[in-house]
Structure formats: structure tokens, C-alpha cells
A = this chain, B = another copy of it.
């Protein structure tokens, strides 16, 4: 049935690890419905895809739009072109591989697909096996870390350049657009996400969308941006002060920087993710801003901008070498402004390495 060539590195190894994880959970096969999971496992980047893996086969289901892409990127998979998104063809392939117990990630299958697939499958059992792929994706191999480093480098070059061209009078939206263009001109595939550029009081909204407010001499500009390079992302935040730091934000700035340092210093293998959050939060709380730190301290990055491990209150997961996380404490004062500083940090065998090279110190021009 299979006339496919062997999968190249790193995919062959990842596929074998998935098979081992399936055996351990007594699953006969696994269905991947998430694009980034598919890219990680097979290298296939098409927007419409489903990957079915069992002990012997890798089947890639996609549609005619990605026919050539599949041949180029994952020639080792058996390609099945479907004419509709209905799960009938997926079910047919599951039966063809005689999979009785099929694992899948319940976060990446919607209720409609589940119901349709269950109906079409009859005999086979669908087993939610949530963390199978995302657990493996938490630890980055050297090839992945190299791509993240490149995504950081390009984002930082563009930011250094921004410090040259940023002028009072520009709108937040103009600044964001130019920053994205600059990253792409330097080789980024795209922005990792639409950058946040928030002037003055707008910076108190942690996930603000850039608008028509203009950069001024007397207000801070919060910039949260990242690049995607070869599918891997960076995620950084810096404050730019075109004038001096307003006195009402001086203590806030100092506290955030200290929290960043404390949280970063706590990063090493074996430490629970929650401890990193606690290191930042305890300091910010002590300074009297606990209620103004409205989000968690950080999250993993990789193919997704937000992935495991979350550096949040109740996450007991111990850090491991090879994880890459953001550290991004922030304090937000509605009507006044906000300060957040964000670095990308690799967990190493002996501790950590801050991958972002921009000074964490708030920039004053």
C-alpha cells in the first residue's frame, strides 16, 4: 500500500516519538488537525490538512489547492486529496488503516467534526489524548532554537531601526505598519502577530490594537512585536520614551524591570513554571501594583506565539532544558498608561540564556 520514501530528519524522529507515545497509551493511530502540529510533525505547511499516523503509515489529507505543496514538502506521506471538508474521507482512511482506537487533541477538534467523524466511523473509538503533540513541542531541538534566534534577530534589527525613524506625529498604526514592513524586508516570513503600538494611556490596555493616536514628546510608547521566520516566532516588548519618563510612571518602570530580572533569574531546569510567575508577581505586589499586573508572566513560544509552558500561577510543570519562554511582567494604570518589558529566554541544562539582545532598560532618546 505504501510506496513512499522515508521521512527525512527531523520528521522521521518526531514520527517515531509520536508512535511510541501512541503505543504507551494503547492507541492504534493519531489524527492531527492543527496546522502547526502538522508542520512540526511532517513539514507540510498547507492551510488545509489532516495528518493520520499509525504504526506503519503517514497519511496526509488535503485538498486540490495544496496538491503540489504536499508533493514538495511531505513526499514521504501518502497523499489523499479530498473534495470537501466532510470527514467521510478521513473516516475512510481511518478504516483503511484498521485503526480501532484513534487519538486526537480535543483542543483542536471542534464538536461538529467530532460528531460527524464518530458517525462516519461507527466501530472505531475516538480517544481524546490532549497533550501528545504539544508535550513534545515544548522542548525545542537545535534546529528549532536556531529559527527562534533568527526570528529574534530580525525583530531586534527592525526595532533598532525604528529608534532611528520614530518621530512625534506618527500614528500608532503607521508605526506598526512600518515595523512589520521592515521585518519582512529583512527576511521575516511575516509578523508573528499584528504588533501592539500603544501611545500614552493606550498602553494600559495590554492587548491594544494600534489606532490613530499619535506619538508625542511626553508620552511612552509600548511596542509588543515579533517576527516569524521559517514558521518559528519571536515575541518581544519594549517601551520607547521619545522624551523623558513621566514621573507618575517612574516607579512602575523600575518595578517592572526588577520583576523581569527576578523572574529571569529564577529560570532553570526543574523549577515549576508557577515559580517564575511568583517571582515577578510577589515583587510587583510588594510594590503595591499587584492588581495592576493583570496577566501571567510568560508563555512558551515556537511555531505558535502562545504555547506550553504557561508561566502562570497554577502551572506546576517543571521547566526543562530546550524550552523557550517569554518573560513579560507588566503594570497597567487605566487612564494613565502601562509598562511591559518582554524577553525571550531559553532554558539551558545549567540555567537559562536570554535570547533577546536588546537592553531591557527602558530606552530614552
Contacts and interface: CB of A to CB of B under 8 A. Distances in A.
Given A111-B111, A114-B111, A181 B177 contact: yes
Contacts of A107: 110-112
A258 interface: no
Contacts of A109: 110-111
A45 B104 CA distance: 31
Nearest to A130: B112
A343 to B, nearest CB: 19
Contacts of A185: 174, 177
- Size category of the binding interface on chain A: 35 or more
A298 to B, nearest CB: 14
Contacts of A112: 106-107, 128, 130
Given A64-B294, A185-B177, A295-B64, A207 B110 contact: no
Given A110-B109, A185-B174, A207 B65 contact: yes
Instruction: Tell me the number of copies of this protein.
Output: 2
A46 interface: yes
A63 interface: yes
Interface in A18-57: 45-47
A173 interface: yes
A202 to B, nearest CB: 10
Interface string A138-156: 0000000000000000000
A97 to B, nearest CB: 21
Nearest to A178: B181
19 contacts: A46-B207, A47-B207, A63-B294, A64-B295, A65-B207, A66-B205, A106-B110, A106-B111, A107-B111, A107-B112, A110-B110, A111-B111, A114-B114, A115-B128, A173-B184, A173-B187, A173-B189, A177-B181, A180-B181
Interface of A: 45-47, 63-69, 84, 104, 106-112, 114-115, 128, 130, 173-174, 176-178, 180-181, 184-185, 187, 189-190, 194, 204-207, 209, 294-295, 314, 334
Given A109-B111, A173-B189, 13 more contacts: A45-B209, A64-B294, A64-B295, A65-B294, A65-B295, A69-B205, A106-B112, A107-B111, A110-B111, A115-B128, A180-B180, A180-B184, A189-B209
Task: Give the 4 A-B CB pairs with smallest separation, nearest first.
Answer: A64-B294, A177-B184, A106-B111, A181-B181
